[in-house]
Structure 1
């Protein structure tokens, strides 16, 4: 199945808070009713008036959730609200969807510029969670000038989420063999993908096509109007760069400032993107291994971390590894072990945790491995999942018309499994995910955003998820694109280092784009 990008510091408990707020507000159609149609790719003017957001103060509910987190001592107030958007932009006065929104405002705000709309990517990650986290962690120079706003895109989080994959099936997906080497293992992988696609088709039918990025980009312009901004200021990470650049293509004149950090390559087809990600994760694992073996006192997984992980995968395949975590009934399979490795490679700060967790698993306790894997997949301690996997699959398949046959994928699994031994086979398998998908497709448009104000594209040299060439291509394709490169590691760059932070802050606040091709040291 398609790999789901790791969630940032997601405030899972926020879901229960905003659900209470949501129930107190007027709601749109149910999720089942909502997924009934899709729209064409070209942008059209909004034909229905956009009502300002009626913010409900939810500070008292969010405060205990963020207590103790870095930045929680900031004088922040939070508002929760809803924004109505057309289900289909082909029928702008017809049925609507209700998008859930969170706004954070600093008590030290002066000379307010407007709203900074944030999206953490995925597709399928919660932008309302991201808004809360961003309010805690973005520089004072930004939080002091902008309201920080997150709106869960249609089908995501609390915006009438797409839900068509059971928790049990998600457990099966994450535990599945990531490096199939036999015909039976490949047949099982294809059958699982077929079952997932059929289950979503049975639940929503053609309505699955209503959750494309093009539709979400149109929603974003209604968000801009609902928060009262004449132009959009936007911070998008990973898939959020796809959403932001699509917005710029559809509404170039409405761009004030767009930061696209960890850009998804707009020129790569699914096969090229999957191979680039396999290469990126292999390189990131090598960086983790080099870092670990250089530690004073030695690396917890020995002098050859790659061999250690290969041996651990074999161990987990032969005898799945139990966990000491109270109440845990799962055992770590190779799929869960590799999910844990992927999870930690997103952020070098998690590398020590990965090394310790792998060593503990080899000794017979998979508790740490399962914790890392669950962070990656969105699984809670009670065994329930967010709808990140459902939304990731639905949006990804809505956005492409490319399909790959089982024979195509079998050949790539064999090839990539040799060239990219840890991550190649899994990346190749992901190409089959959308082949059995039964829903209308709205392919992403080519994006040059001609006429838009300067757009800042940020790429990281050691990004395993969205490798640097994607940012280079994005900046080159956008007529007004400006590339900023960080020579660091991990997924995305802002605000991790002073050089990047200074450049992005100046751009967001003063519209001062950095010099072309600025490179920041690690």
Structure 2
């Protein structure tokens, strides 16, 4: 998976799909976009459409009850608006976007809307808006409405859905470190089958889910919200979306916070290798933390060795689960997805240690819970559309392709260099080779003429290594770099130093000195 921001509100996506909330919040248009018609393209700029808002506090309040921040006096609205399927033909078909707006009671000196995106690509921004309302500093909420817009194809916004739950179960269960010819051919075949199914369902319309078009959507939403300029908080892939917006509309930027920046200079191979290397380093940090516990580490004195034993065990005899109704057993792929899931945030490290220890005793329930959090699998065996959307957006954004032979060579090489995560990172490079869709590669992003943009990197980020933030802040002509010396994916609002700097920037447009570092 490319990158996303895990939050305690992950369940909100499923709950927002209940019929009661759909009555006020869901798309009422066609389920699938269609390819652009043969009508001649026009250069006329599309007009922003009004947002059809309805109060959905009664539906969201029970979902967040008891969560930290739920005692805040918040109100929620759900809304829909239409955008063109193709900006080359804005008078052609439309697709519907779904929004959530959170407002703190008693706002004073309101500045406008703060659009948020949690990353992925494929993570729900409507979920993120609810979570942000619970966790962002009240100083920010007192000045901004928080707005989450599920990007086209994501969440509730005309979601792309074309990979079956059975296909996902098979893809995630396979052993990513099995590099024999038979295992690789089976893996490539699964990817081919998923791509063929999506091409059959959507055809050329798969190309409509590009980041460039999602950024254009953001500007129409900005206009519909009556904001003169955009104020934006983007995490992980959300930094790609935000920087694309700044490139397209530099004069419409008020303030952009790009936290956990994806390297704009790196190709897919370079990013995949950097991520594999970073995950290895963060696993070592997890292991050191575990062995340093006063009560002792449940994985013993060698957590990496313990994990390797569990992977070998799962390959020979997958581990059953005590979870009621669970028919799956933990394979090496599911074990590694559980590890990857927990390495996103140090707060999940104790859960990982206990899950692996339990797997060593023959119960994979904890492993499956962590793995499902990562892949978007729900308790009833269905999945959110995060994987479908991630692939659709990622592949619409690039024209890079890798042959099976190239992937096989890289997997063998990286398996030696990065023994837990390298082979899996290399195998993922084949996905967009199989994907049949028009491409809109991301532009170079210098955002000439933009207001100052704040770029944040975290030294121990396994998903978007800190070097990506350095490159993004350098490439953006108005970019300013802020680095947190901590561990985990993204930084705001986890520490007072980062929080203070970001708050001052969002509210007062006070930009920290370029290169500022915050301690762990």
Cα distance in 1 between the residues matched to 2:13 and 2:104: 19
Q: State the partner residue of 1:312.
A: 310
Alignment root-mean-square deviation, CA: 1.7
Q: State the partner residue of 1:365.
A: 363
Q: State the partner residue of 2:35.
A: 36
- Kindly indicate whether the alpha-carbon contact (under 8 Å) linking 2:5 and 2:118 is maintained by their aligned counterparts in 1: no
Is 1:155 paired with 2:150? no
Q: How does 1:181-196 map to 2 (within 5 A)?
A: 181-196=179-194
Task: Give secondary structure in 2 for the equivalent of 1:457.
Answer: strand
Q: State the partner residue of 1:491.
A: 489
Q: State the partner residue of 1:417.
A: 415
Task: Give secondary structure in 2 for the equivalent of 1:431.
Answer: helix
Q: State the partner residue of 1:351.
A: 349
Q: How does 1:147-296 map to 2 (within 5 A)?
A: 147-296=145-294
Cα distance in 2 between the residues matched to 1:379 and 1:110: 41
Q: State the partner residue of 1:399.
A: 397
* C-alpha distance 375-124 of structure 1, shift in aligned 2 (>3 A): same
- Kindly indicate whether the alpha-carbon contact (under 8 Å) linking 1:70 and 1:136 is maintained by their aligned counterparts in 2: yes
Q: Cα offset for 1:4?
A: 6.1
Q: State the partner residue of 1:79.
A: 77
Task: Give secondary structure in 2 for the equivalent of 1:159.
Answer: coil
1:330 is matched with which residue: 323, 328, 331? 328
1:465 is matched with which residue: 448, 458, 463? 463
Cα distance in 2 between the residues matched to 1:25 and 1:291: 43
1:388 is matched with which residue: 381, 386, 389? 386
Cα distance in 1 between the residues matched to 2:488 and 2:158: 32
Task: Give secondary structure in 2 for the equivalent of 1:136.
Answer: helix
- Kindly indicate whether the alpha-carbon contact (under 8 Å) linking 1:38 and 1:207 is maintained by their aligned counterparts in 2: no
Q: Cα offset for 1:48?
A: 3.4
Task: Give secondary structure in 1 for the equivalent of 2:62.
Answer: helix
Q: Cα offset for 1:109?
A: 1.2
- Kindly indicate whether the alpha-carbon contact (under 8 Å) linking 1:347 and 1:491 is maintained by their aligned counterparts in 2: yes
> Once the two structures are superposed, what CA deviation does each residue of 1:437-492 show, in whole Å capped at 9, x if it has no partner?
11100000000000000000000000000000000000000000000000000000
> Once the two structures are superposed, what CA deviation does each residue of 1:127-148 show, in whole Å capped at 9, x if it has no partner?
0000000000000110111000
- Kindly indicate whether the alpha-carbon contact (under 8 Å) linking 2:26 and 2:98 is maintained by their aligned counterparts in 1: no
Task: Give secondary structure in 1 for the equivalent of 2:147.
Answer: strand
1:119 is matched with which residue: 92, 113, 117? 117
* C-alpha distance 471-4 of structure 1, shift in aligned 2 (>3 A): closer
Q: Cα offset for 1:15?
A: 4.5
Q: How does 1:419-438 map to 2 (within 5 A)?
A: 419-438=417-436
Q: State the partner residue of 1:501.
A: 499
- TM score, norm. by length of structure 1: 0.96
- Kindly indicate whether the alpha-carbon contact (under 8 Å) linking 2:454 and 2:480 is maintained by their aligned counterparts in 1: yes
> Once the two structures are superposed, what CA deviation does each residue of 1:261-310 show, in whole Å capped at 9, x if it has no partner?
00000000000000000000000000000100111121110101111101
* C-alpha distance 3-507 of structure 1, shift in aligned 2 (>3 A): closer
Cα distance in 2 between the residues matched to 1:260 and 1:269: 19
* C-alpha distance 464-14 of structure 1, shift in aligned 2 (>3 A): closer
Q: Cα offset for 1:28?
A: 5.7
* C-alpha distance 244-449 of structure 1, shift in aligned 2 (>3 A): same
Q: Cα offset for 1:94?
A: 1.6
List gaps (5 residues or longer) in structure 1: none
**Mean CA deviation greater in 17-26 or 200-209:** 17-26
Task: Give secondary structure in 1 for the equivalent of 2:160.
Answer: coil
Cα distance in 2 between the residues matched to 1:182 and 1:299: 34
Q: State the partner residue of 2:136.
A: 138
- Kindly indicate whether the alpha-carbon contact (under 8 Å) linking 1:5 and 1:376 is maintained by their aligned counterparts in 2: no
- Kindly indicate whether the alpha-carbon contact (under 8 Å) linking 2:231 and 2:255 is maintained by their aligned counterparts in 1: yes
Q: Cα offset for 1:37?
A: 3.9
Q: Cα offset for 1:433?
A: 0.7
- Kindly indicate whether the alpha-carbon contact (under 8 Å) linking 2:76 and 2:102 is maintained by their aligned counterparts in 1: yes
Q: Cα offset for 1:178?
A: 1.3
List gaps (5 residues or longer) in structure 2: none
- TM score, norm. by length of structure 2: 0.97
1:52 is matched with which residue: 37, 50, 70? 50
- Kindly indicate whether the alpha-carbon contact (under 8 Å) linking 2:504 and 2:511 is maintained by their aligned counterparts in 1: yes
* C-alpha distance 200-111 of structure 1, shift in aligned 2 (>3 A): same
- Kindly indicate whether the alpha-carbon contact (under 8 Å) linking 1:15 and 1:158 is maintained by their aligned counterparts in 2: no
- Kindly indicate whether the alpha-carbon contact (under 8 Å) linking 1:117 and 1:233 is maintained by their aligned counterparts in 2: yes
Q: Cα offset for 1:22?
A: 4.5
- Kindly indicate whether the alpha-carbon contact (under 8 Å) linking 2:235 and 2:259 is maintained by their aligned counterparts in 1: yes
Cα distance in 1 between the residues matched to 2:502 and 2:26: 37
Q: State the partner residue of 1:110.
A: 108
2:64 is matched with which residue: 63, 66, 71? 66
Task: Give secondary structure in 2 for the equivalent of 1:324.
Answer: coil
Is 1:8 paired with 2:2? no
- Kindly indicate whether the alpha-carbon contact (under 8 Å) linking 2:234 and 2:259 is maintained by their aligned counterparts in 1: yes
- Kindly indicate whether the alpha-carbon contact (under 8 Å) linking 1:7 and 1:378 is maintained by their aligned counterparts in 2: no
* C-alpha distance 273-108 of structure 1, shift in aligned 2 (>3 A): same
Cα distance in 1 between the residues matched to 2:4 and 2:118: 10
